[in-house]
């Protein structure tokens, strides 16, 4: 089953509308804590995005399903359509429950926003639907992308992962500009500990779309840099822009560009298999990016963590990065069952 460029780009526009609504709503909650109504312009963008995404999906299915769809015809669809369909189901259920939830229990505040069941369903649905343009593109043969297709795949990956970054803000490096207090011993359950785990979660989320793209295609030049830099800038603009510390997202983006350049220049010279090269990249890239951030942060605001915390944090991110690559590149769907060869039936006679 093939898809046209027009279909892919229209689905990308619908995905962008949907995720933009989430960004506006997240910004509104972050900057207006006293928000106490469901009927806001931001929710209008979000829920109209759900509607547009649903109609886009129906438009894509119109020529690929019979007039009266059956279970068999739905199962026969490619994953490029079934995954966005599953996402739309989560969006519709989550959106309906969210309206009811707000009317019964009120508007969530603070951490409640990130653990609300209806919100989690909406986020999952967004991610699955926003994968659609890249999945449609993946049905085409070949492992090289044209410039236009590379832009589409990059934007689809960005829109897929950005909602997860937003809703993991409570365990994210983008949740606060914090590099530790004075170098005295830190309590195990502390703000430093929370940020420590934020580096692990952010490492995984920043690497995952790049690794998954690399499973299907030769990663286009600039894709890793764009995915890291735009996530950093978007997260900072939504949640930390009042801190006037734009050096933080700019440093992360510049460090990602440097790591990509280094990987493309040095990687081919290393005597490593393709899989070993990816695992090495997964281990080394986080260390280089976060080390660069710590160096700039030390010059800007000072890093209060001592050598034990910083070295341990970098080691953990290296392990997390390598583990992310190993899992993401080696998880495979089960092989299709091979039918038994046709032949005369044989009757087993039990031994006396």
| Each residue's pLDDT tens digit, 182-203 | 666 777 778 888 888 899 999 9
Give the pLDDT of residue 339: 56
Q: What is the pLDDT of residues 77-131, one digit of tens each?
A: 888 999 999 999 999 998 888 878 877 887 777 777 778 888 899 899 999 999 9
Q: What is the DSSP letter of 111?
A: T
Lowest mean pLDDT among 173-177, 247-251, 341-345: 341-345
Q: What are phi and psi of 82, to 5 degrees?
A: -65, -35
pLDDT tens, 311-321? 999 999 999 99
Task: Evaluate if residue 352 carries a pLDDT over 50.
Answer: no
Sign of CA dihedral 343, 349, 350, 352: negative
Residue 241: band (very low, low, confident or very high) from pLDDT cuts 50, 70, 90: low
Is the per-residue pLDDT at 347 higher than 50? no
Q: Using pLDDT thresholds of 50, 70 and 90, give the confidence band for residue 343.
A: low
CB-CB contact of 288 with 256 (8 Å): no
Average pLDDT, whole number, for the chain?
86
d(CA 207, CA 328): 10
What pLDDT sits at residue 43?
A: 76
Query: Has residue 333 got a pLDDT over 70?
Result: no
Question: What 3 state SS string does 18-76 have?
Answer: HHHHHHHHHHHHHHCCCCCCCCCHHHHHHHHHHHHHHHHHHHHHCCCCCCCCCHHHHHC
Q: How confident is the model at residue 158 (pLDDT cuts 50, 70, 90)?
A: very high
The residue among 351 and 201 whose pLDDT is bigger is 201
Examine the pLDDT at 336 and tell me if it is beyond 60.
Answer: no
Domain locations in the chain?
1-142, 168-331
CB 267 within 8 A of CB 277: yes
| Helix axes of 41-61 and 5-31: crossing angle, nearest 10 degrees | 160
Tracing tokens 């989320």 back to the chain, one arrives at 205
- What pLDDT does 62 receive? 86
Do 95 and 50 form a contact (C-beta atoms < 8 A)?
yes
Q: Where are the alpha helices (DSSP H) in 267-306?
A: 274-300
Q: What percent of the chain has pLDDT over 70?
A: 89
The CA-to-CA distance between both ends of the chain, in Å, stands at 56
Average of pLDDT values for 49-55? Answer: 91
For the chain, how long is the longest CA-to-CA vector? 87
pLDDT of residue 2: 81
């Amino acid at each position: 089953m093939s898809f046209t460029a027009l279909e892919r780009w229209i689905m990308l526009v619908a995905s962008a509308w949907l995720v933009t609504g989430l960004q506006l709503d997240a910004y509104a909650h972050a900057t207006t804590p006293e928000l106490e109504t469901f009927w806001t312009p931001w929710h209008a963008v979000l829920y109209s995005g759900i509607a547009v995404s649903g109609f886009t999906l129906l438009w894509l299915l119109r020529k690929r399903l019979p007039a009266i769809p059956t279970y068999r015809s739905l199962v026969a669809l490619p994953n490029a359509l079934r995954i966005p369909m599953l996402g739309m189901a989560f969006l519709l259920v989550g959106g309906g429950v969210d309206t009811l939830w707000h009317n019964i229990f009120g508007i969530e505040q603070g951490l409640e926003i990130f653990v609300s069941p209806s919100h989690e369903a909406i986020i999952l649905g967004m991610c699955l639907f926003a994968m659609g343009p890249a999945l449609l593109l993946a049905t085409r043969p070949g492992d090289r992308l044209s410039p236009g297709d590379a832009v589409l795949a990059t934007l689809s990956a960005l829109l897929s992962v950005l909602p997860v970054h937003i809703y993991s803000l409570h365990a994210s490096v983008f949740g606060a500009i914090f590099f530790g207090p004075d170098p005295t011993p830190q309590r195990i359950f502390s703000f430093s500990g929370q940020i420590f785990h934020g580096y692990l979660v952010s490492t995984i989320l920043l690497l995952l779309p790049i690794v998954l793209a690399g499973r299907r295609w030769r990663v286009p030049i600039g894709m890793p840099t764009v995915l890291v830099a735009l996530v950093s800038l978007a997260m900072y603009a939504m949640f930390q822009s009042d801190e006037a510390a734009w050096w933080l997202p700019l440093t992360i983006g510049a460090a990602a560009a440097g790591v990509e350049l280094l990987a493309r220049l040095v990687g081919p010279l290393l005597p490593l298999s393709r899989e070993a090269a990816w695992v090495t990249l997964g281990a080394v890239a986080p260390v280089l990016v976060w080390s660069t951030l710590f160096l700039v942060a030390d010059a800007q605001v000072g890093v209060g963590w001592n050598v034990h915390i910083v070295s341990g944090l970098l080691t953990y991110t290296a392990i997390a990065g390598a583990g992310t690559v190993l899992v993401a590149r080696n998880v495979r769907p089960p092989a299709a069952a091979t039918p038994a060869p046709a032949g005369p039936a044989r009757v087993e006679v039990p031994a006396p």
